[in-house]
């Protein structure tokens, strides 16, 4: 971290499971942090760590040189940046917005253009992969879109909670890469659920499957992360939500449609998550998609 970035006041908007974990890392490292969230539940916890509570996204922007955003979807990004009391209404020219949300690529580029035209705001789309535990271990993966100079300026901040930060192109490229990430993740969660259930029903020592397959073509992060979680039914507290995965898989389908591509495997996983969410599993841990197979 450079001396200049140490002295900057940083904003953080969106304090859900992911946002709170990232904000904690910035506070633990002694940075001055101004925060805002639609719901106030996260405030006491972060206030104890030294966070300054702002009354709106505009009030966050007015106090900061860099503002991180981590909200639920494209519309939420638009609301906190361009809406009533949004960032655009409080920002000074040169403010950098780093959007860690998962949003649509084309819409992200349009939002960035509007912010720049209206208030001279620079924008980086920087969706993340890894979950809250990875953030607290400072091991998130970030796929970024934006100018090289802007990304260099904020990389030391993001390195407080990420170990792999890659520029994939101009604004929107980070979100396009996240689309690919979620296609892989969503299909993999469903695949792991099917594999776990098949292993259980077969009578083999299901717990030893990751160990047995280590180093082979089937070895993967998901085999060593999602598979044991499903096998142990370790779904509480949730690290991510099934409803969010469904939202992300819908984004994947929309992008594939934009390019005229048929993606039946992703669409099948999306249908699995849609059925699970419809049955009441929306607020449950993503890996609990395993439950969809228990009674079949």
Any idea which residues carry the catalytic annotation? 178
Q: Residue 141 in 3-state DSSP?
A: strand
Q: Report the alpha-carbon distance of residue 32 to residue 20 in Å, rounded.
A: 15
| Residue 33 · residue 5 · CB < 8 Å | no
Q: Report the alpha-carbon distance of residue 236 to residue 184 in Å, rounded.
A: 23
Q: Report the alpha-carbon distance of residue 13 to residue 35 in Å, rounded.
A: 6
73 sits in the region (left: phi over 0; alpha: psi -120 to 50; else beta) called beta
Q: Report the alpha-carbon distance of residue 41 to residue 56 in Å, rounded.
A: 15
The number of angstroms, rounded, from the C-alpha of 205 to the middle of its chain's C-alpha atoms is 34
* Torsion on CA atoms 220, 224, 227, 229, rounded to nearest 10: -150
């Amino acid at each position: 971290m450079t001396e200049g970035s140490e002295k900057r006041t940083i904003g953080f908007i969106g304090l859900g499971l992911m946002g709170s974990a990232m904000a904690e890392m910035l506070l633990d490292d002694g940075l001055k942090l101004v925060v805002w969230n639609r719901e106030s539940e996260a405030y006491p916890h972060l206030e104890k760590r030294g966070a300054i509570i702002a009354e709106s996204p505009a009030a966050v922007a007015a106090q900061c040189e860099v503002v991180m955003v981590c909200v639920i979807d494209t519309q939420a990004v638009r609301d906190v940046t361009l809406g009533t009391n949004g960032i655009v209404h409080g920002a000074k020219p040169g403010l950098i917005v780093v959007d860690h949300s998962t949003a649509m690529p084309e819409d992200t580029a349009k939002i960035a253009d509007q912010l720049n035209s209206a208030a001279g705001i620079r924008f980086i789309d920087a969706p993340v992969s890894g979950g809250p535990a990875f953030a607290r271990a400072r091991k998130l993966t970030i796929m970024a879109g934006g100018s090289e100079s802007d990304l260099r300026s904020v990389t030391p901040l993001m390195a407080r909670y990420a170990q792999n930060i890659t520029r994939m192109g101009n604004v929107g490229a980070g979100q396009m890469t996240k689309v690919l990430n979620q296609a892989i993740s969503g299909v993999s969660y469903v695949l792991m659920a099917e594999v776990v259930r098949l292993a259980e029903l077969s009578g083999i020592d299901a717990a030893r499957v990751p160990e047995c397959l280590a180093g082979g073509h089937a070895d993967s992060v998901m085999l060593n992360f999602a598979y044991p979680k499903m096998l142990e039914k370790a779904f509480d507290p949730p690290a991510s939500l099934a409803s969010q995965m469904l939202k992300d898989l819908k984004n994947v389908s929309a992008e594939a449609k934009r390019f005229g591509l048929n993606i039946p495997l992703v669409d099948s996983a999306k249908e699995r998550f849609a059925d699970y969410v419809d049955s009441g599993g929306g607020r449950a841990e993503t890996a609990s998609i395993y439950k969809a197979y228990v009674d079949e």
